[in-house]
Amino acid sequence: MSKQIYKLHPISTIINFLKGLKELIIPVAIILFSRFLNRSEELNFWTDLFPILIIAIPVIYILFSGIIKWWTFIYWFENDELRVEYGLFIKKKRYIPFERIQSLNYKEGIFHQLFGLVQVMVETAGSTNGKPEVELTAIRKDAARLIEVQMNHSKNQQRSIELGSNIEDGEIVTELSNELVHKMPNNDLLVLATTSNSIGVVLAGVAAVLGQFSEYIPYDLVFEELRVFVQFGVILIILVIIVGLLLAWLLSIAITFLSYYDFSVMKESEKIIVTRGLLEKKKVTIPLNRVQAIKIVENPIRQIFGYASVIIESAGGAISEKEKKMTLFPLIRKKRLDPILNDLFPHFALDLNVTRPPKEAKAFFYRVDFIWLIPVIALCSYFYYPFGLFSFLLIIPIILLGIWQFKTTGYAIMGNQLTIIYRTISRVTFLVEKKRIQVVVRKQSYFQKRKKLASIQATVMSGLTGATAKASNLNEEEANIVLDWLEHEKKGHLER
Protein backbone atom coordinates (compact mmCIF):
# COMPACT_ATOMS: atom_id res chain seq x y z
CA MET A 1 0.00 0.00 0.00
CA SER A 2 1.25 3.50 -0.89
CA LYS A 3 3.38 5.42 1.65
CA GLN A 4 3.07 8.73 -0.17
CA ILE A 5 2.56 11.66 2.20
CA TYR A 6 -0.51 13.85 1.68
CA LYS A 7 -1.30 17.30 3.09
CA LEU A 8 -4.39 19.42 3.53
CA HIS A 9 -5.17 22.13 1.01
CA PRO A 10 -3.95 25.62 2.10
CA ILE A 11 -7.54 26.89 2.08
CA SER A 12 -8.05 24.81 5.25
CA THR A 13 -6.33 27.63 7.18
CA ILE A 14 -9.10 30.04 6.21
CA ILE A 15 -11.82 27.45 6.91
CA ASN A 16 -10.43 26.72 10.38
CA PHE A 17 -10.05 30.45 11.02
CA LEU A 18 -13.66 31.19 10.07
CA LYS A 19 -14.86 28.21 12.09
CA GLY A 20 -13.12 29.60 15.15
CA LEU A 21 -14.46 33.11 14.50
CA LYS A 22 -18.00 31.71 14.42
CA GLU A 23 -17.62 30.76 18.07
CA LEU A 24 -16.63 34.37 18.87
CA ILE A 25 -19.46 36.14 17.04
CA ILE A 26 -21.66 36.72 20.09
CA PRO A 27 -18.83 37.77 22.51
CA VAL A 28 -17.38 40.14 19.88
CA ALA A 29 -20.83 41.60 19.14
CA ILE A 30 -21.41 42.20 22.88
CA ILE A 31 -18.04 43.96 23.24
CA LEU A 32 -18.60 46.16 20.19
CA PHE A 33 -22.13 46.99 21.25
CA SER A 34 -20.90 47.90 24.74
CA ARG A 35 -18.21 50.08 23.16
CA PHE A 36 -20.89 51.84 21.09
CA LEU A 37 -23.01 52.60 24.17
CA ASN A 38 -20.04 53.94 26.14
CA ARG A 39 -18.39 55.97 23.38
CA SER A 40 -16.91 59.37 24.27
CA GLU A 41 -14.97 62.08 22.48
CA GLU A 42 -11.77 61.58 24.52
CA LEU A 43 -9.61 58.54 23.84
CA ASN A 44 -9.52 56.24 26.86
CA PHE A 45 -7.50 53.02 27.16
CA TRP A 46 -10.09 51.02 29.14
CA THR A 47 -13.12 52.02 27.08
CA ASP A 48 -11.52 52.35 23.62
CA LEU A 49 -8.36 50.27 23.30
CA PHE A 50 -8.83 47.50 25.86
CA PRO A 51 -12.00 46.05 24.21
CA ILE A 52 -10.16 45.95 20.87
CA LEU A 53 -7.24 44.16 22.55
CA ILE A 54 -9.64 41.60 24.06
CA ILE A 55 -10.98 40.90 20.57
CA ALA A 56 -7.59 40.87 18.83
CA ILE A 57 -5.85 38.30 21.09
CA PRO A 58 -8.22 35.35 20.47
CA VAL A 59 -8.58 36.28 16.77
CA ILE A 60 -4.80 36.19 16.28
CA TYR A 61 -4.61 32.92 18.25
CA ILE A 62 -7.28 31.31 16.06
CA LEU A 63 -5.50 32.48 12.90
CA PHE A 64 -2.12 31.04 13.92
CA SER A 65 -3.75 27.82 15.15
CA GLY A 66 -5.28 27.32 11.70
CA ILE A 67 -1.93 27.97 9.98
CA ILE A 68 -0.05 25.59 12.30
CA LYS A 69 -2.63 22.84 11.85
CA TRP A 70 -2.39 23.10 8.06
CA TRP A 71 1.41 23.26 8.12
CA THR A 72 1.89 20.20 10.35
CA PHE A 73 -1.06 18.01 9.31
CA ILE A 74 -0.11 15.03 7.12
CA TYR A 75 -1.71 11.67 6.36
CA TRP A 76 -0.74 8.54 4.47
CA PHE A 77 -1.67 4.88 3.97
CA GLU A 78 0.41 2.08 5.43
CA ASN A 79 -0.22 -1.52 6.54
CA ASP A 80 -3.96 -1.31 5.78
CA GLU A 81 -4.25 1.77 7.97
CA LEU A 82 -5.04 5.44 7.56
CA ARG A 83 -2.29 7.23 9.46
CA VAL A 84 -2.49 10.86 10.57
CA GLU A 85 0.11 13.08 12.23
CA TYR A 86 -0.19 16.72 13.29
CA GLY A 87 0.99 19.20 15.93
CA LEU A 88 3.96 21.55 16.32
CA PHE A 89 5.23 21.22 19.88
CA ILE A 90 3.16 18.16 20.77
CA LYS A 91 2.99 15.62 17.95
CA LYS A 92 -0.24 13.65 17.77
CA LYS A 93 -0.51 10.44 15.75
CA ARG A 94 -3.54 8.34 14.93
CA TYR A 95 -3.40 4.99 13.17
CA ILE A 96 -6.82 3.79 12.09
CA PRO A 97 -7.17 0.30 10.56
CA PHE A 98 -9.43 0.48 7.51
CA GLU A 99 -11.49 -2.41 8.84
CA ARG A 100 -12.51 -0.24 11.83
CA ILE A 101 -13.84 2.59 9.66
CA GLN A 102 -17.61 2.54 9.67
CA SER A 103 -18.12 5.32 7.14
CA LEU A 104 -16.62 8.31 5.39
CA ASN A 105 -18.85 11.40 5.56
CA TYR A 106 -18.33 14.43 3.36
CA LYS A 107 -19.17 18.11 3.60
CA GLU A 108 -18.71 20.92 1.09
CA GLY A 109 -19.02 24.48 2.30
CA ILE A 110 -18.83 27.56 0.10
CA PHE A 111 -15.01 27.62 0.07
CA HIS A 112 -14.89 23.90 -0.69
CA GLN A 113 -17.17 24.34 -3.69
CA LEU A 114 -15.20 27.34 -5.03
CA PHE A 115 -11.92 25.38 -5.07
CA GLY A 116 -13.27 21.90 -5.85
CA LEU A 117 -12.47 20.56 -2.37
CA VAL A 118 -14.26 18.47 0.22
CA GLN A 119 -14.12 17.92 3.98
CA VAL A 120 -13.81 14.26 4.99
CA MET A 121 -14.92 12.93 8.39
CA VAL A 122 -13.73 9.43 9.26
CA GLU A 123 -16.26 7.66 11.47
CA THR A 124 -15.45 4.61 13.58
CA ALA A 125 -17.39 2.63 16.16
CA GLY A 126 -14.99 3.81 18.86
CA SER A 127 -15.37 7.54 18.23
CA THR A 128 -16.71 9.55 21.17
CA ASN A 129 -18.10 12.96 22.11
CA GLY A 130 -19.95 13.33 18.83
CA LYS A 131 -16.69 13.95 16.92
CA PRO A 132 -15.20 11.97 14.05
CA GLU A 133 -12.07 9.92 14.61
CA VAL A 134 -10.24 12.03 12.03
CA GLU A 135 -11.32 15.18 10.20
CA LEU A 136 -9.60 16.24 6.99
CA THR A 137 -10.67 19.89 6.76
CA ALA A 138 -10.06 20.43 3.05
CA ILE A 139 -8.62 18.04 0.46
CA ARG A 140 -9.12 17.55 -3.27
CA LYS A 141 -12.01 15.35 -4.33
CA ASP A 142 -9.71 12.88 -6.06
CA ALA A 143 -7.71 12.61 -2.81
CA ALA A 144 -10.93 11.91 -0.91
CA ARG A 145 -11.84 9.29 -3.49
CA LEU A 146 -8.42 7.69 -3.03
CA ILE A 147 -9.09 7.22 0.70
CA GLU A 148 -12.34 5.43 -0.12
CA VAL A 149 -10.65 3.28 -2.75
CA GLN A 150 -7.86 2.28 -0.37
CA MET A 151 -10.41 1.48 2.34
CA ASN A 152 -12.54 -0.67 0.01
CA HIS A 153 -9.46 -2.44 -1.31
CA SER A 154 -8.32 -3.29 2.21
CA LYS A 155 -11.75 -4.54 3.23
CA ASN A 156 -12.17 -6.57 0.04
CA GLN A 157 -8.76 -8.11 0.54
CA GLN A 158 -9.62 -9.03 4.12
CA ARG A 159 -12.93 -10.51 2.96
CA SER A 160 -11.21 -12.51 0.23
CA ILE A 161 -8.79 -13.99 2.76
CA GLU A 162 -11.72 -15.06 4.95
CA LEU A 163 -13.41 -16.65 1.92
CA GLY A 164 -10.21 -18.37 0.77
CA SER A 165 -9.70 -16.32 -2.41
CA ASN A 166 -6.99 -13.75 -3.07
CA ILE A 167 -6.53 -10.22 -4.43
CA GLU A 168 -3.16 -9.63 -6.05
CA ASP A 169 -0.89 -6.95 -4.60
CA GLY A 170 -1.43 -3.64 -6.32
CA GLU A 171 -4.87 -4.60 -7.53
CA ILE A 172 -7.37 -2.04 -6.31
CA VAL A 173 -11.10 -2.34 -6.75
CA THR A 174 -12.37 1.07 -7.90
CA GLU A 175 -15.77 0.25 -9.31
CA LEU A 176 -18.57 0.43 -6.79
CA SER A 177 -22.13 -0.02 -7.95
CA ASN A 178 -24.22 3.01 -6.99
CA GLU A 179 -27.98 2.60 -7.22
CA LEU A 180 -30.10 5.73 -7.00
CA VAL A 181 -32.93 4.85 -4.63
CA HIS A 182 -34.71 8.18 -4.31
CA LYS A 183 -34.29 11.79 -5.38
CA MET A 184 -36.63 14.35 -3.85
CA PRO A 185 -38.66 16.19 -6.51
CA ASN A 186 -38.80 19.98 -6.33
CA ASN A 187 -42.51 19.99 -5.50
CA ASP A 188 -41.89 17.68 -2.54
CA LEU A 189 -39.02 19.94 -1.44
CA LEU A 190 -41.41 22.89 -1.49
CA VAL A 191 -43.96 20.96 0.60
CA LEU A 192 -41.19 20.00 3.05
CA ALA A 193 -40.04 23.61 3.40
CA THR A 194 -43.54 25.00 3.95
CA THR A 195 -44.56 22.34 6.49
CA SER A 196 -41.28 22.02 8.44
CA ASN A 197 -40.89 22.99 12.08
CA SER A 198 -37.85 25.19 11.41
CA ILE A 199 -39.85 28.22 12.49
CA GLY A 200 -39.28 27.04 16.07
CA VAL A 201 -35.53 27.01 15.42
CA VAL A 202 -35.69 30.57 14.03
CA LEU A 203 -37.66 31.88 17.03
CA ALA A 204 -35.35 30.07 19.46
CA GLY A 205 -32.33 31.60 17.71
CA VAL A 206 -33.80 35.10 17.99
CA ALA A 207 -34.55 34.51 21.68
CA ALA A 208 -30.98 33.29 22.29
CA VAL A 209 -29.47 36.38 20.63
CA LEU A 210 -31.74 38.69 22.62
CA GLY A 211 -30.76 36.83 25.78
CA GLN A 212 -27.08 37.61 25.15
CA PHE A 213 -27.87 41.33 24.94
CA SER A 214 -30.45 41.40 27.74
CA GLU A 215 -28.34 43.58 30.06
CA TYR A 216 -28.04 46.25 27.36
CA ILE A 217 -31.73 46.37 26.44
CA PRO A 218 -33.47 49.47 27.93
CA TYR A 219 -36.55 47.64 29.20
CA ASP A 220 -38.12 50.79 30.69
CA LEU A 221 -38.07 52.49 27.29
CA VAL A 222 -39.28 49.32 25.57
CA PHE A 223 -42.23 48.91 27.93
CA GLU A 224 -43.11 52.58 27.62
CA GLU A 225 -43.16 52.29 23.82
CA LEU A 226 -45.13 49.06 24.15
CA ARG A 227 -47.70 50.79 26.35
CA VAL A 228 -48.15 53.52 23.74
CA PHE A 229 -48.31 50.92 21.01
CA VAL A 230 -51.04 48.94 22.82
CA GLN A 231 -53.26 52.02 22.76
CA PHE A 232 -53.53 51.72 18.98
CA GLY A 233 -55.74 48.70 19.44
CA VAL A 234 -55.76 44.92 19.52
CA ILE A 235 -56.13 44.54 15.75
CA LEU A 236 -52.86 46.35 15.04
CA ILE A 237 -51.04 44.24 17.63
CA ILE A 238 -52.40 41.07 16.06
CA LEU A 239 -51.29 42.27 12.61
CA VAL A 240 -47.75 42.94 13.87
CA ILE A 241 -47.59 39.47 15.47
CA ILE A 242 -48.86 37.88 12.26
CA VAL A 243 -46.26 39.75 10.17
CA GLY A 244 -43.50 38.67 12.58
CA LEU A 245 -44.56 35.04 12.45
CA LEU A 246 -44.86 35.24 8.66
CA LEU A 247 -41.30 36.55 8.36
CA ALA A 248 -40.06 33.77 10.68
CA TRP A 249 -41.99 31.22 8.59
CA LEU A 250 -40.46 32.52 5.33
CA LEU A 251 -36.99 32.38 6.89
CA SER A 252 -37.64 28.79 8.03
CA ILE A 253 -38.69 27.91 4.46
CA ALA A 254 -35.42 29.32 3.14
CA ILE A 255 -33.38 27.41 5.76
CA THR A 256 -35.11 24.11 4.97
CA PHE A 257 -34.84 24.65 1.22
CA LEU A 258 -31.09 25.32 1.41
CA SER A 259 -30.52 22.38 3.78
CA TYR A 260 -32.38 19.74 1.74
CA TYR A 261 -31.76 21.00 -1.79
CA ASP A 262 -30.86 18.19 -4.23
CA PHE A 263 -31.68 15.54 -1.60
CA SER A 264 -30.94 12.04 -2.86
CA VAL A 265 -30.50 8.55 -1.42
CA MET A 266 -28.22 5.97 -3.01
CA LYS A 267 -27.38 2.38 -2.16
CA GLU A 268 -23.79 1.23 -2.48
CA SER A 269 -22.97 -2.33 -1.50
CA GLU A 270 -23.92 -2.57 2.19
CA LYS A 271 -24.25 1.17 2.71
CA ILE A 272 -26.81 3.92 2.27
CA ILE A 273 -25.48 7.26 1.05
CA VAL A 274 -27.49 10.44 1.67
CA THR A 275 -26.52 13.70 -0.06
CA ARG A 276 -28.15 17.10 0.39
CA GLY A 277 -27.55 20.85 0.61
CA LEU A 278 -26.92 23.89 -1.59
CA LEU A 279 -24.61 26.33 0.20
CA GLU A 280 -23.22 23.49 2.32
CA LYS A 281 -23.33 20.10 0.64
CA LYS A 282 -23.31 17.05 2.89
CA LYS A 283 -22.77 13.41 2.08
CA VAL A 284 -23.45 10.96 4.91
CA THR A 285 -22.84 7.23 4.76
CA ILE A 286 -24.94 4.84 6.85
CA PRO A 287 -23.75 1.22 7.07
CA LEU A 288 -26.79 -1.05 6.88
CA ASN A 289 -25.46 -3.25 9.69
CA ARG A 290 -25.59 -0.27 12.08
CA VAL A 291 -29.28 0.42 11.54
CA GLN A 292 -31.10 -0.38 14.78
CA ALA A 293 -34.67 0.63 13.94
CA ILE A 294 -36.78 2.56 11.44
CA LYS A 295 -39.34 5.23 12.34
CA ILE A 296 -42.00 6.36 9.89
CA VAL A 297 -43.34 9.72 11.11
CA GLU A 298 -46.52 11.37 9.83
CA ASN A 299 -47.50 14.72 11.27
CA PRO A 300 -51.21 15.60 10.96
CA ILE A 301 -50.84 18.03 8.04
CA ARG A 302 -48.59 15.75 5.99
CA GLN A 303 -50.71 12.73 6.83
CA ILE A 304 -53.74 14.39 5.25
CA PHE A 305 -51.85 14.80 1.97
CA GLY A 306 -50.30 11.32 2.06
CA TYR A 307 -46.74 12.30 3.06
CA ALA A 308 -44.39 10.86 5.66
CA SER A 309 -40.78 11.14 6.81
CA VAL A 310 -38.47 8.23 7.62
CA ILE A 311 -35.86 8.30 10.39
CA ILE A 312 -33.14 5.72 10.97
CA GLU A 313 -31.94 4.98 14.49
CA SER A 314 -28.22 4.23 14.19
CA ALA A 315 -25.64 2.82 16.60
CA GLY A 316 -21.95 3.56 16.87
CA GLY A 317 -19.82 6.07 15.04
CA ALA A 318 -18.96 9.62 15.93
CA ILE A 319 -22.06 11.29 14.68
CA SER A 320 -23.80 13.60 17.09
CA GLU A 321 -26.88 12.74 19.10
CA LYS A 322 -28.94 14.55 16.51
CA GLU A 323 -27.47 12.52 13.67
CA LYS A 324 -27.87 9.23 15.51
CA LYS A 325 -31.44 9.76 14.35
CA MET A 326 -30.56 10.05 10.68
CA THR A 327 -33.28 11.37 8.38
CA LEU A 328 -33.44 8.90 5.52
CA PHE A 329 -36.38 10.60 3.81
CA PRO A 330 -37.37 14.04 5.13
CA LEU A 331 -40.54 13.88 3.03
CA ILE A 332 -41.88 11.19 0.72
CA ARG A 333 -45.27 10.10 -0.54
CA LYS A 334 -46.58 7.05 1.31
CA LYS A 335 -47.46 5.29 -1.93
CA ARG A 336 -43.80 5.49 -3.00
CA LEU A 337 -42.40 4.56 0.40
CA ASP A 338 -43.25 0.85 0.59
CA PRO A 339 -41.31 -0.33 -2.52
CA ILE A 340 -38.28 1.80 -1.59
CA LEU A 341 -38.10 0.47 1.99
CA ASN A 342 -38.60 -3.08 0.68
CA ASP A 343 -35.59 -2.55 -1.57
CA LEU A 344 -33.37 -1.12 1.18
CA PHE A 345 -34.61 -3.31 4.05
CA PRO A 346 -36.12 -6.49 2.55
CA HIS A 347 -36.22 -8.12 6.01
CA PHE A 348 -38.87 -5.64 7.19
CA ALA A 349 -42.57 -6.14 6.53
CA LEU A 350 -44.71 -3.01 6.35
CA ASP A 351 -48.31 -4.18 5.88
CA LEU A 352 -49.21 -6.06 9.06
CA ASN A 353 -52.34 -6.82 11.05
CA VAL A 354 -52.04 -4.50 14.05
CA THR A 355 -53.41 -5.41 17.49
CA ARG A 356 -55.21 -2.43 19.03
CA PRO A 357 -56.06 -1.57 22.65
CA PRO A 358 -59.48 -2.76 23.88
CA LYS A 359 -62.43 -0.37 24.19
CA GLU A 360 -61.97 -0.22 27.96
CA ALA A 361 -58.66 1.56 27.40
CA LYS A 362 -60.08 4.59 25.58
CA ALA A 363 -60.42 6.80 28.67
CA PHE A 364 -56.84 6.07 29.76
CA PHE A 365 -55.51 8.04 26.78
CA TYR A 366 -56.91 11.38 27.95
CA ARG A 367 -57.82 11.25 31.61
CA VAL A 368 -54.21 11.65 32.79
CA ASP A 369 -54.13 15.02 30.99
CA PHE A 370 -56.89 16.24 33.29
CA ILE A 371 -54.39 16.16 36.17
CA TRP A 372 -52.67 19.29 34.81
CA LEU A 373 -55.70 20.65 32.95
CA ILE A 374 -58.02 21.00 35.99
CA PRO A 375 -55.71 23.41 37.93
CA VAL A 376 -55.26 25.52 34.77
CA ILE A 377 -59.02 25.75 34.27
CA ALA A 378 -59.58 26.58 37.94
CA LEU A 379 -56.97 29.38 37.96
CA CYS A 380 -58.21 30.89 34.69
CA SER A 381 -61.83 30.78 35.87
CA TYR A 382 -60.99 32.41 39.21
CA PHE A 383 -58.65 35.21 38.09
CA TYR A 384 -60.22 36.01 34.71
CA TYR A 385 -63.91 35.46 35.46
CA PRO A 386 -66.14 35.42 33.42
CA PHE A 387 -63.88 35.07 30.34
CA GLY A 388 -61.78 32.49 32.11
CA LEU A 389 -64.72 30.09 31.94
CA PHE A 390 -63.87 29.60 28.26
CA SER A 391 -60.91 27.53 29.46
CA PHE A 392 -63.39 24.67 29.97
CA LEU A 393 -63.33 24.37 26.17
CA LEU A 394 -59.80 22.93 26.48
CA ILE A 395 -61.42 19.68 27.57
CA ILE A 396 -62.73 19.10 24.04
CA PRO A 397 -59.36 19.00 22.18
CA ILE A 398 -57.81 16.97 25.00
CA ILE A 399 -60.51 14.30 24.69
CA LEU A 400 -60.34 14.33 20.89
CA LEU A 401 -56.53 13.96 20.95
CA GLY A 402 -56.84 11.06 23.40
CA ILE A 403 -59.36 9.30 21.18
CA TRP A 404 -57.06 9.89 18.21
CA GLN A 405 -54.17 8.33 20.12
CA PHE A 406 -56.39 5.41 21.12
CA LYS A 407 -57.31 4.70 17.49
CA THR A 408 -53.65 4.95 16.40
CA THR A 409 -51.91 2.84 19.06
CA GLY A 410 -51.11 -0.80 18.37
CA TYR A 411 -48.43 -3.40 17.80
CA ALA A 412 -47.70 -6.33 15.50
CA ILE A 413 -45.32 -9.27 15.61
CA MET A 414 -44.23 -11.09 12.48
CA GLY A 415 -41.34 -13.50 12.65
CA ASN A 416 -38.39 -11.61 14.14
CA GLN A 417 -39.94 -8.17 13.64
CA LEU A 418 -41.74 -6.03 16.18
CA THR A 419 -43.83 -3.10 14.98
CA ILE A 420 -45.16 -0.50 17.41
CA ILE A 421 -47.49 2.30 16.33
CA TYR A 422 -48.21 5.26 18.61
CA ARG A 423 -49.03 8.95 18.53
CA THR A 424 -48.42 12.05 20.59
CA ILE A 425 -49.30 14.51 17.84
CA SER A 426 -47.59 12.82 14.89
CA ARG A 427 -48.23 9.19 14.01
CA VAL A 428 -45.09 7.07 14.46
CA THR A 429 -44.55 3.56 13.10
CA PHE A 430 -41.54 1.93 14.79
CA LEU A 431 -39.97 -1.10 13.06
CA VAL A 432 -37.30 -3.15 14.79
CA GLU A 433 -35.77 -6.63 14.54
CA LYS A 434 -35.69 -8.80 17.63
CA LYS A 435 -31.87 -8.98 17.67
CA ARG A 436 -31.67 -5.17 17.82
CA ILE A 437 -33.89 -4.76 20.89
CA GLN A 438 -31.99 -3.95 24.07
CA VAL A 439 -34.91 -4.27 26.45
CA VAL A 440 -38.71 -4.54 26.49
CA VAL A 441 -40.50 -3.16 29.55
CA ARG A 442 -44.02 -4.04 30.62
CA LYS A 443 -45.64 -1.31 32.72
CA GLN A 444 -48.89 -1.58 34.64
CA SER A 445 -50.33 0.98 37.05
CA TYR A 446 -52.89 0.23 39.75
CA PHE A 447 -55.72 1.59 37.61
CA GLN A 448 -54.53 -0.34 34.55
CA LYS A 449 -54.43 -3.52 36.60
CA ARG A 450 -58.07 -3.08 37.56
CA LYS A 451 -59.00 -2.98 33.88
CA LYS A 452 -56.51 -5.72 32.93
CA LEU A 453 -54.44 -3.33 30.83
CA ALA A 454 -50.68 -2.85 30.48
CA SER A 455 -48.21 -0.85 28.38
CA ILE A 456 -45.11 -2.10 26.58
CA GLN A 457 -41.98 -0.13 25.75
CA ALA A 458 -39.14 -1.31 23.49
CA THR A 459 -35.68 0.29 23.50
CA VAL A 460 -32.90 0.00 20.95
CA MET A 461 -29.33 1.29 21.04
CA SER A 462 -29.14 4.83 19.66
CA GLY A 463 -27.21 7.66 21.24
CA LEU A 464 -26.61 7.85 24.99
CA THR A 465 -30.13 6.98 26.14
CA GLY A 466 -31.36 4.80 23.28
CA ALA A 467 -34.51 5.14 21.21
CA THR A 468 -37.84 3.93 22.57
CA ALA A 469 -41.32 3.20 21.30
CA LYS A 470 -44.33 2.68 23.53
CA ALA A 471 -47.70 1.07 22.95
CA SER A 472 -49.94 2.19 25.81
CA ASN A 473 -52.94 0.54 27.47
CA LEU A 474 -52.96 -2.77 25.63
CA ASN A 475 -54.75 -5.82 26.92
CA GLU A 476 -52.38 -7.30 29.53
CA GLU A 477 -52.40 -10.64 27.70
CA GLU A 478 -51.15 -8.91 24.55
CA ALA A 479 -48.38 -7.21 26.55
CA ASN A 480 -47.34 -10.62 27.88
CA ILE A 481 -47.18 -11.96 24.32
CA VAL A 482 -44.49 -9.38 23.47
CA LEU A 483 -42.45 -10.37 26.53
CA ASP A 484 -42.79 -14.06 25.72
CA TRP A 485 -41.75 -13.39 22.12
CA LEU A 486 -38.53 -11.70 23.27
CA GLU A 487 -37.89 -14.27 26.01
CA HIS A 488 -38.15 -17.08 23.47
CA GLU A 489 -35.31 -15.50 21.50
CA LYS A 490 -33.09 -15.37 24.61
CA LYS A 491 -33.76 -19.04 25.39
CA GLY A 492 -32.93 -19.93 21.79
CA HIS A 493 -29.53 -18.21 22.06
CA LEU A 494 -28.79 -20.01 25.33
CA GLU A 495 -29.66 -23.38 23.82
CA ARG A 496 -27.43 -22.75 20.84
Secondary structure string (H, E, C) spanning 451-479: CCEEEEEEEECCCCCCEEEEEEEEEHHHH
What number is the average pLDDT over the span 214-221?
A: 52
How large is the average pLDDT for residues 16-20? 86
- 223 vs 396, more confident: 396
Query: How much is the pLDDT for 222?
Result: 53
Q: Among 35, 15, 32, 39, which Cα is nearest to 139's?
A: 15
- CA–CA distance, 455 with 207 (Å, rounded to integer): 38
Task: Give percent of the chain above pLDDT 70.
Answer: 77
- Is it the case that residue 484 has pLDDT exceeding 80? yes
What was the pLDDT predicted at 203?
55
Which of 361, 299, 300, 295 has its CA nearest to residue 328?
Answer: 295
Check the CA dihedral 372-374-378-381 and report its sign.
positive
49 or 456: which carries more pLDDT confidence? 456
Beta bridge partners of 281: 108
Integer Cα distance of 165 and 243 in angstroms: 68
Asked if 460 contacts 466 with a C-beta cutoff of 8 angstroms, the reply is: yes
- The β-bridge relationship of strands 101-108 and 307-314 is unpaired
472, 457 in Cβ contact below 8 A? Answer: no
pLDDT band at 374 (very low <50, low <70, confident <90, very high): confident
Residue-wise pLDDT tens digits, 133-150? 899 999 999 999 999 888
Burial zone of 280 (CB within 10 Å; 0-12 exposed, 13-18 middle, 19+ buried): middle
Q: Are 454 and 463 in contact (CB under 8 A)?
A: no
Confidence of residue 481 (pLDDT cuts 50, 70, 90): very high
Is pLDDT at 489 greater than 70 in this prediction? no
Dump pLDDT digits (tens) for 167-185.
Answer: 454 454 445 567 889 999 9
C-alpha distances in Å from residue 416, one per residue of 87, 287, 476 = 50, 21, 21
CB 283 within 8 A of CB 112: no
Q: How confident is the model at residue 493 (pLDDT cuts 50, 70, 90)?
A: very low
Q: Rounded distance, CA 259 to CA 198, Å?
A: 11
Mean pLDDT confidence for 12-20: 89
Say how far apart CA 137 and CA 67 lie, in whole Å: 12
pLDDT for 495 equals: 40
As a whole number, mean pLDDT of residues 105-112 equals 92
Q: Residue ranges of the domains in the chain? A: 6-173, 186-260, 264-357+409-495, 359-405
Please give the Cα distance from 282 to 184 (Å, whole number): 15
What is d(CA 83, CA 5) in angstroms, rounded to the nearest whole number? Answer: 10
